[in-house]
Amino acid sequence: MSYIEYKNVSKKFGETVVLEDVNIGIERGEIVGFSGRNGSGKTLLFKMLAGLVRPTSGEITVAGKALRSSFLTDCGMLIEMPGFIGHYSGYKNLDIINSIGTKRADKKHIRELMMHLNLDPDSKKHVSKFSLGQKQKLGIIQAVMNNPSILILDEPINSLDDASADDVLEFLRQMNKDNGTTILIASHIKGDLDSICGRVLKLSDNRVSV
């Protein structure tokens, strides 16, 4: 039995089939990529794992336990852009998110993550004034700061320049190596995934293939 399993998972909205008969097994500590054009179902696949959307049929299990009516715990995620408070600084936003979680990060650790991704934790600049790339980095830090066992990242380097993208991918590689974090990462550009993922699955025609 795999650590994460999608078992005959399908999702329909009305009569529209978005995903059909998806079967995936992901081992603990794997980094698995998901590629496919925009609208192919990558985000939906992640939302179902996170517990944000329920499958129409089939079952998803984590460590042998079926996900039914609860959110996935010990999971960090970047699925679409997080809803940061625009009139607060980057650090203030992260501190607030951290304070309401059940698994809290050390404030020094949050500051170190910000500096690692070239965001100044002492800056008073409001998030509403951040560039798309800066907001993306903040979203990545929000996802990883509590050292989750499972990390779900949907297009995490989409708005980043090449140097920043390389920094993020190297950070994820190190996190996986140090902590054994299981990482699911999606991109519509397969080349973005090849350097970090042990394998890349393709979404097309409502299905997932190797």
Q: Which residues pair with 35 in a beta bridge?
A: 187, 202
Tokens of 76: 């960090």
pLDDT digits 0-9 by tens, 32-48: 999 988 888 899 999 99
d(CA 139, CA 61): 26
Is pLDDT above 80 for 195? yes
More confident call, 40 vs 199: 199
pLDDT at residue 145, as a whole number:
95
Q: How many domains are contained in the chain?
A: 1
Nearest one of 78, 46, 57, 42 to 201, comparing CA atoms: 42
Q: What's the chain's average pLDDT?
A: 92
Read off the pLDDT band of 139 (50, 70, 90).
Answer: very high
pLDDT at residue 36, as a whole number:
87
d(CA 146, CA 5): 24
pTM: 0.93
pLDDT at residue 75, as a whole number:
93
pLDDT digits 0-9 by tens, 87-134: 999 999 999 999 987 788 999 999 999 999 999 999 999 999 999 999
**CATH code assigned at 174:** 3.40.50.300
Q: Residues 114, 91: contact at Cβ < 8 Å?
A: yes
Bridge-based pairing state of the strands 207-209 and 65-66 = unpaired
Nearest one of 140, 143, 173 to 158, comparing CA atoms: 140
Residue 61: domain span: 4-209
Q: Which residues pair with 60 in a beta bridge?
A: 6
pLDDT at residue 190, as a whole number:
79
Q: How far is CA 1 from the centre of its chain?
A: 23
Bridge-based pairing state of the strands 4-13 and 16-26 = antiparallel
d(CA 17, CA 163): 38
Averaged pLDDT for residues 143-152: 95
Instruction: Give the Cβ contact number of residue 32 at 10 Å.
Output: 20
Q: Phi then psi for 177, rounded to 5 degrees?
A: -70, -45
Q: Residues 209, 43: contact at Cβ < 8 Å?
A: no
